[in-house]
Structure 1
Amino acid sequence: MTLTTVLLLGVAAVLVGFAKTAIGGVGSIAIAIFALVLPTKESTAAILLLLLIGDVVAVWHYRRDADLVMLRRLIPAVLPGLALGALFLAWVDDTTLRRCIGVLLLVLAAMQLLLRWRSPDTTRIGESRPAAIGTGVAAGFATMTANAAGPVMTLYLVAQGVEKRRFLGTAALFFFGVNLCKVPFSLGLGLFDGETLWRTLALAPLVLLGTWIGLHTARRLSQTRFDQAVLAATVVSALALVVR
């Protein structure tokens, strides 16, 4: 690997950790970086183990803040989404995969901004059963195909006006479970190899550094700034996937 590639992967690893403990949408920027320097399908496995490292830290730190009722509404729809994502991943080429995920995220972000403009109180929409099912399927599909479910979950939680720590705790537990479920799918697709494991070991300390930075950043962000930041990160990361 070139020095530029190593530096980009290092930055992406820090962003993975930061996203897990602060602004989730930033994680998709890391995913876009991995897709830039590695083949897209291989990049999904390469970053999965790094995401799990960040998940463990986030779950431990926010373990008292997760909304289990909300998670119970989402989880039944995630597994069908994962299965659809695995089928799509086995069939589609890298460019189409990347752009489909980017377009999906942009559409979801546009819908969220439109809803908030027309009706500042979107909690009734966010709490509906169709919204939970749609979010679960979309999150499962997006995370299996491009580890890009962070923005999907972000939009769902923002729609419900979830308080910052509850937001982070719920997202942490959700993604820890989802990412564990993805491991056998990725193994079945033959996406793990020795190089991926060595890369994970090398980048793990930078993920931990990112989680530390994220914890300190989250404490300083107001609720309004937090909501704005996660939506902005969603849009930026989606554009990065589309235009590459």
Structure 2
Amino acid sequence: MVDLDLYFFCIAGPAVIFAGVSKAGFGSGAAFASATVLALVVEPGMALGIMLPLLMLIDVSSLKPYWRRWSTPDVRLLVIGGLPGVVAGALLYRVASPDLLRLLIGSVSVVFVLWRISLATGAVRITNERMPDSAGLLFGTIAGFTTFISHAGGPPASIFLLSRGLTKTQFQATTVILFWMLNIAKFLPYAALGMFTSQSFLANIVLAPFALLGTWIGVRAHHIVPERLFFGTTYVLLMVTGTKLIWDGLV
């Protein structure tokens, strides 16, 4: 049950705007923060079900400015790998309790932040060498799985794409088309698993303008907002909300 009250709007509205900004302007890597935030106020499965149609709306809205500017070979590799990952995510969801989902979503959020901090401090280094095509299949599978259970496919896809020598805009365009395709692949399993309800549909209608606003901001912010500022803010948000979800899942 989703209560479309002032409290819901205060949480969900900014979260959905943030998803639009991240997906349309910054390679989708932090858009899953929106599902993490929503999972604080509604049941995790409901949060995922609410966010998927909105993410698909953002995908469609983002396609035009990046049309045909993606790397087709890299998209192909990640999609081929991603589809089995989506299937694995669906199988896990069938047996997962709400608390297990909270733990998974929270853990993905916290691990993502720790990973980014490790990269920034030099504790972990990603090779500058171009990853082979087989790595695209592997990271595609990871992306498919994580995008199903928490809409967090951006980070594993980014690890692969950052090694492929893409320009900033080519990288962005590749993530837009990739997750447009993976989100379509997720839609039927989400429906079959009962993650869409009349309440989530009503929430989608109310939140759609927030998604479009975030997309509009993101496309423009892509050229003017420093990525370090955007992701620095994101990491704080993810660490706080992810830790809260882990605590809720445990207790």
| TM-score tier (shorter) | 0.7 to 0.9
For residues 115 and 46 of structure 2, the distance between their equivalents in structure 1, rounded to whole angstroms, comes to 31
> In the alignment, which residue of structure 1 is the partner of 2:249?
none
Amino acid at match of 1:167: F
- Secondary structure class of the residue paired with 2:39: helix
Q: Which amino acid letter does the alignment assign opposite residue 50 of structure 2? A: A
- For residues 181-233 of structure 1, give each alpha carbon's deviation from its aligned partner in whole angstroms, at most 9, with x where no partner exists: 11110111011111111211111111111111111111114xxx437745873
The equivalent of 1:18 in structure 2 is 21
Q: Deviations over 1:24-43 (max 9, x none)?
A: 23312211121111100111
Report the Cα offset of residue 95 of structure 1. Answer: 2.6
Please say which of residues 156-165 and 201-210 is displaced more in the overlay: 156-165
Deviation at 1:106, TM superposition (A): 4.8
Secondary structure in 1 matching 2:67: coil
Aligned pairs for 1:85-96 (under 5 A) are: 85-96=89-100
Structure with bigger helix share is: 1
1:59-98 correspondence runs (5 A): 59-98=63-102
| CA positional deviation for 1:114 | 5.2
| Stretches of structure 1 lacking an aligned partner (at least 5 in a row) | none
The aligned residue for residue 122 of structure 1 is 127
Deviations 1:113-145 (A, max 9, x none): 656837977342x52234312211111111111
Give per-residue Cα distances to partners, 1:46-100, cap 9 Å, x unaligned.
1100000000011121113211111122121111111110011111122322323
Report 1:11-160 matches (<5 A).
11-23=14-26, 24-104=28-108, 106-107=110-111, 117=122, 122-124=127-129, 127-160=131-164
How many residues align? The count is 240
Specify which of 194, 199, 217 is matched with residue 195 of structure 1. Answer: 199
Question: For the residues of structure 1 that align with 2:176 and 2:149, how far apart are their CA atoms?
Answer: 19
TM superposition score normalised by structure 1: 0.86
Q: Where in structure 1 do 4 or more consecutive aligned residues deviate above 6 Å?
A: 118-121
The answer to whether the aligner puts 1:237 opposite 2:242 as a matched pair is no
Identity, % of aligned pairs? 26
User: What TM-score results when the alignment is normalised by the length of structure 2?
Assistant: 0.84
